[in-house]
């Protein structure tokens, strides 16, 4: 039955007898203005704590929060990450787990220090280390508060008195303690080797702090004279001319064949045969082979540096490839990882005549004080003058840059603290362990595995101020580094008691255990070192500082972060845990992609495409819309966000909300004690209860496998099609016109109530405010989050589903036939029509097993017959199973329900309506 217009209601004396939906649940949500009051109620009643207390004897599920950097407000990528985590915790809790997550913040490091220095401006020179650290701490604390407010506004559940900050005294003490344990066990060492170095910030970088951008470099082919062989040269290729002053050798691959090739008619160059054509193509020269050269012959050669008074020796290693160059590789052990390794094998010093700021020292007096980038053209000119430059061009390639300064990095050998990846079979053990971790999506496994396989030793030290100091001391007498198990344990106890700032306020003597002496010279006079720990080490040991130990098992059930963390936090957490526990810190790792604009571009202020989660989404639509958008995305890949896209999400939210509103409105006046036993329900109601059961099975599986986009799609489809388009339409006449206490109406109300409560609970992890709002409107006094996902498996009725599916399969054809009559101007409301159904095959006869009343309800018509009928035909339509004729009913319309039942009238009303108004 259709709802009457206002004009029809005025004319119709029976309007007041129809049971129309009635609810105070507003059609307009007003989320942005109404959500804060609900947030306050959740906080005042300590709901998250009560959720856990309610399930204190249930299986434990721990999601370990990767700490965001306490610098700036949350952007849309943060919103995606935090809301996904919240959905996991809420869905796990509703699934019967004691689900917990302690939010954390990464508070040390370059971004904060650089910003504080920028804010100081001209006052930088008069600001000491202790004052700078104080300002950094205040800066980080401020943004912890701001980001915490964002987290709350996202409708995420957390306890404000239960968070972790890497700058808190207990956490800093744990950092020192774990570092000490790793050092004591032999995993940490100090050595001089090339590391990524930022000359702008004068500090080392770990691989996780590197970003790759296009960069243009000079591409040069340089001739190294061979001693004793005039006009014969080894030809090398390099894109870093500034590293040539540090050259100590030329590397060859012992598996390759090499030859001398004539060039310019009077010179010979030594290159790999496999790169002859490549060299010709790059240089434009024509090379003619003169003679092959064996490995033994190369071993006897000595090369002369092209512009320094020193020799360069032949080296052999399998790092030399045929991908590019000449097969003869310029080797500077102080300026490259492969160079360092081969130099180590040959006993070469990792020599680097470059200072912290990228300027040449007096070890290369010719260009002392010149920055490496400025030295490139000068060295090229020098090579031209010496006539050792064979070819010069430019090359654009992907080059490592600092994640903070955005400037190109260099490789530079400096004394640093390293975590030893291959100590005690750690790499092999870690590879075996990650085989047992669940990686979602599955490609994450191959990605992390390849990174672990090739990971160099981890550079732990940084040359900055704001961070946890490495508690190493230097002997005043001989400059030997002093650090041992006793000194670390002693310092850890001091930090726990007085905080990490004690390192900066007290003398070395006050921080060392009594009797400490230099192991090299025996002196007891020390000064403090100046290195701090990599911030990735801070967050990497968070699982030690925050989580409870589980003997022999990972302490966290799940890590959930962006896919860039395969080389970041996942690894910085993996190495210490494997070294000290022998197990990884996580049982499963789930990653999400980046948030891009609607054109697939990264969001940036310069492009003007930034979507702010608070001002552009929550303030306009509400946090539930932001959460619904997050749930709608297959976050395993990069996701896109736009203002137009948000309008679509908001429209879909309204469809879900109106479904809740319709359910609440139709249940007005109905109480649970009026529900019918399941076995007494009408067939159509039983069918849709079975459909609900099927839906819950799917939703449970999708929540369990973190496929929130499938949850969103299934819920939306169920609300808009299964319910609004089909079920609500079918039972509308019954709900409006049957007696309130009739068995048929009570049957539908029973199912509507189960649907309402079930959808409300299953929507709660996503639409947290709306679900709580619906739950209250339904008369519940406790929070929806103290419920469990309903198990409706007993309501599944496969036999009935098969039967009803037959009727529903031709419902669409019936709608087409009715629409044809409507378009021809022969039919108004569907209830003005009757149907004659003629089966085309014996398989179609299943409809004859239905009660006529049920078919009339399913097809929303007044009459259904399977017998030939001579009444006026309004339209005809056929599908594969039935010929459908729409006929004009001969019986008059009941003015109350507008149906045309084939029965006598009682004072113009049909029998059903006459009974209903008694």
**Residues of each annotated binding site:** 561, 605, 894, 897, 910, 913
Contact in structure between 541 and 571 (CB atoms under 8 Å): no
Q: How many CA atoms lie within 13 A of 722 on its CB side?
A: 23
Residues 35/39/45/51 CA torsion (nearest 10 deg) = 100
The DSSP symbol for 740 reads T
Helix locations, 394-513, DSSP H: 426-434, 443-454, 485-498, 502-505, 508-511
CA–CA gap between residue 235 and residue 224 (Å, rounded): 6
Residues near 376 by Cβ (< 8 Å), separated by ≥ 6? 218, 240, 241, 242
DSSP-assigned beta bridge partners for residue 875: 886
Angstrom distances, CA of residue 297 to CA of 84, 228, 271, 292? 63, 13, 13, 10
Residues belonging to the binding site for ATP are: 605
For 617-658, the DSSP string reads: IITTT-HHHHHHHHHHS-TTS-EE--HHHHHHHHHHHHHHHH
CA distances (Å), 745 to each of 667, 682, 795, 852, 861, in order? 10, 9, 19, 17, 18
DSSP 700-761: HHHHHTT-HHHHHHHHHHIIIIIIIIIIHHHHHHHHHHS-TT-HHHHHHHHHHHHHHHHHHH
How far apart are the C-alpha atoms of 575 and 591, rounded to whole Å?
Answer: 19
* CA pseudo-torsion sign 680, 685, 691, 696: negative
Residue 908 contacts residue 900 (beta carbons within 8 Å): no
Binding-site residue numbers for L-isoleucyl-5'-AMP are 561
Dist CA 445 CA 7 (whole Å)? 66
CA-to-CA distance for 798 and 785, rounded, in angstroms? 31
Is the four-CA dihedral 426, 432, 437, 439 of positive or negative sign?
Answer: positive
Task: Measure Cα distances from 258 to 234, 290, 302, 322 in Å.
Answer: 11, 11, 16, 12
Beta-bridged to residue 834, according to DSSP, are 863, 887
The phi, psi pair for 317, rounded to 5°, reads -160, 155
Query: Are 505 and 498 within 8 A, CB to CB?
Result: no
- Tell me if 340 sits within 8 A of 334, measured CB to CB: yes
CA–CA distance, 912 with 897 (Å, rounded to integer): 9
Cβ pair 767, 628 in contact under 8 A: yes
Cα–Cα dist 686/796, whole Å: 9
Dist CA 213 CA 604 (whole Å)? 16
Is the distance from CB of 543 to CB of 555 less than 8 angstroms? yes
25: left (phi over 0), alpha (psi -120 to 50) or beta: beta
Q: How far apart are CA 136 and CA 116, in angstroms?
A: 6
Q: Which residues are annotated as a binding site for Zn(2+)?
A: 894, 897, 910, 913
Which phi-psi region, left, alpha or beta, contains residue 696 (left: φ > 0; alpha: ψ -120 to 50)? alpha
Q: What is the DSSP string of 495-549?
A: HHHH-TTHHHHS-HHHHSPTT---TTT----EEE---EE-HHHHHHTHHHHHSPP
Answer whether 56's CB lies under 8 Å from 50's CB.
Answer: no
The SS3 assignment for 391 reads: strand
* Ramachandran sector of residue 151 (left: φ over 0; alpha: ψ -120 to 50; beta: rest): alpha
- Cα radius of gyration (the chain): 38
Task: Determine the straight-line distance between the first and last CA of the chain, rounded to whole angstroms.
Answer: 20
């Amino acid at each position: 039955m259709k709802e009457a217009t206002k004009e029809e209601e005025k004319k119709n004396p029976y309007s007041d007898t129809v049971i129309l939906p009635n609810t105070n649940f507003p059609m307009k949500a007003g989320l942005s203005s109404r959500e804060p009051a609900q947030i306050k109620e959740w906080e005042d009643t300590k709901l998250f704590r009560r959720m856990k207390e309610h399930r204190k004897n249930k299986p434990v599920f721990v999601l370990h929060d990767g700490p965001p950097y306490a610098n700036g407000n949350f952007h849309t990528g943060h919103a995606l990450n935090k809301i996904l985590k919240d959905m996991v915790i809420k869905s796990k809790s509703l699934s019967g787990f004691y689900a917990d997550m302690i939010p954390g913040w990464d508070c040390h490091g370059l971004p904060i220090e650089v910003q504080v220095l920028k804010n100081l401006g001209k006052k930088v020179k008069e600001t000491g280390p202790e004052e700078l650290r104080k300002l950094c701490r205040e800066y980080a604390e401020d943004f912890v508060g701001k980001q915490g407010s964002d987290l709350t506004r996202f409708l995420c559940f957390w306890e404000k008195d239960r968070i972790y900050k890497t700058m808190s005294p207990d956490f800093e003490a744990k950092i020192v303690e774990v570092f000490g344990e790793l050092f004591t066990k032999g995993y940490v060492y100090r050595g001089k080797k090339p590391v990524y170095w930022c000359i702008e910030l004068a500090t080392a970088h770990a691989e996780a702090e590197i970003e790759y951008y296009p960069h243009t470099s000079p591409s040069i082919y340089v001739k190294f004279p061979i001693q004793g062989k005039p006009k014969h040269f080894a030809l090398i290729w390099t894109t870093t001319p500034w590293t040539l002053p540090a050259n100590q050798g030329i590397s060859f691959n012992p598996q390759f064949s090499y030859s001398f090739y004539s060039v310019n008619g009077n010179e010979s160059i030594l290159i790999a045969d496999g790169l002859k054509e490549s060299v010709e193509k790059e240089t434009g020269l024509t090379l003619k082979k003169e003679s092959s050269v064996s490995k033994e012959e190369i071993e006897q050669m000595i090369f002369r540096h092209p512009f320094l008074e020193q020799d360069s020796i032949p080296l052999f290693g399998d790092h030399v490839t045929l991908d590019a160059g000449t097969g003869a590789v310029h080797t500077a052990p102080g300026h490259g990882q492969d160079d360092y390794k081969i130099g180590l094998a040959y006993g070469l010093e990792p020599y680097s005549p470059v200072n912290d700021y990228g300027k040449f020292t007096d070890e290369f007096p010719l260009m002392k004080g010149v920055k490496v980038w400025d030295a490139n053209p000068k060295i090229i000119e020098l090579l031209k003058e010496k006539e050792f430059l064979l070819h010069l061009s430019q090359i654009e390639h992907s080059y490592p840059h600092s994640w903070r300064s955005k400037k190109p990095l260099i490789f530079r050998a400096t004394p640093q603290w390293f975590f030893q990846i291959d100590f005690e079979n750690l790499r092999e053990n870690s590879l075996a362990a990650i085989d047992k971790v669940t990686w979602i999506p599955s490609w994450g496994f191959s990605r992390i595995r390849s990174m672990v396989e090739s990971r160099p030793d981890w550079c732990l030290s940084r040359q900055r101020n704001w961070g946890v100091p490495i508690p190493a001391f230097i002997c005043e007498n001989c400059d030997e580094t002093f650090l041992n198990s006793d000194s670390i344990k002693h310092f850890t106890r001091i930090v726990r008691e007085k905080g990490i700032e004690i390192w900066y306020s007290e003398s070395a003597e006050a921080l060392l255990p009594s009797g400490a002496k230099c192991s090299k010279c025996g002196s007891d006079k020390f000064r403090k070192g100046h290195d701090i720990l990599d911030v990735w080490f801070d967050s990497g040991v968070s699982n030690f500082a925050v989580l409870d130990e589980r003997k022999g098992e990972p302490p966290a059930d799940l890590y959930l972060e962006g896919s860039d963390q395969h080389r970041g936090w996942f690894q910085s957490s993996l190495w210490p845990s494997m070294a000290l526990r022998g197990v990884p810190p996580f049982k499963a790792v789930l990653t999400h992609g980046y948030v891009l604009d609607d054109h697939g571009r990264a969001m940036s202020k310069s492009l003007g495409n930034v979507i702010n989660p608070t001002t552009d989404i929550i303030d306009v639509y509400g946090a539930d819309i932001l959460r619904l958008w997050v749930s709608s995305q297959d976050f395993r890949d990069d996701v896109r966000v736009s203002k137009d896209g948000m309008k679509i999400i908001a429209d879909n939210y309204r469809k879900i909300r109106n479904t809740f509103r319709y359910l609440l409105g139709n249940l007005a006046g109905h109480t649970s004690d009026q529900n019918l036993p399941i076995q007494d329900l009408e067939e159509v109601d039983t069918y849709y209860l079975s459909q609900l059961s099927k839906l819950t099975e799917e939703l449970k599986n999708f929540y369990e496998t973190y496929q929130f986009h499938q949850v969103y799609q299934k819920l939306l489809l169920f609300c808009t099609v299964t319910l609004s388009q089909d079920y609500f339409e079918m039972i509308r006449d019954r709900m409006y016109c049957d007696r309130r206490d009739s068995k048929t109406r009570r049957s539908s109300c029973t199912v509507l109530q189960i649907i309402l409560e079930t959808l409300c609970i299953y929507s709660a992890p996503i639409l947290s405010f709306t679900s709580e709002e619906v739950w209250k409107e339904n008369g519940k006094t406790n929070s929806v989050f103290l419920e469990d996902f309903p198990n409706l498996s007993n309501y599944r009725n496969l036999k009935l589903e098969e039967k009803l599916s037959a009727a529903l399969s031709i419902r669409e054809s019936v709608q087409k036939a009715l629409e044809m009559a409507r378009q021809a101007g022969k039919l108004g409301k569907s209830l003005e029509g009757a149907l004659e159904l003629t089966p085309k095959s014996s398989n179609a006869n299943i409809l004859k097993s239905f009660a006529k009343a049920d078919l009339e309800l399913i097809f929303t018509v007044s009459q259904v017959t399977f017998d030939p009928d001579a009444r006026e035909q309004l339209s005809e339509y056929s599908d594969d199973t039935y010929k459908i004729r729409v006929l004009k009913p001969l019986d008059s319309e009941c003015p109350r329900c507008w149906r045309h039942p084939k029965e006598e009238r009682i004072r113009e009303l049909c029998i059903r309506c006459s009974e209903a108004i008694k």
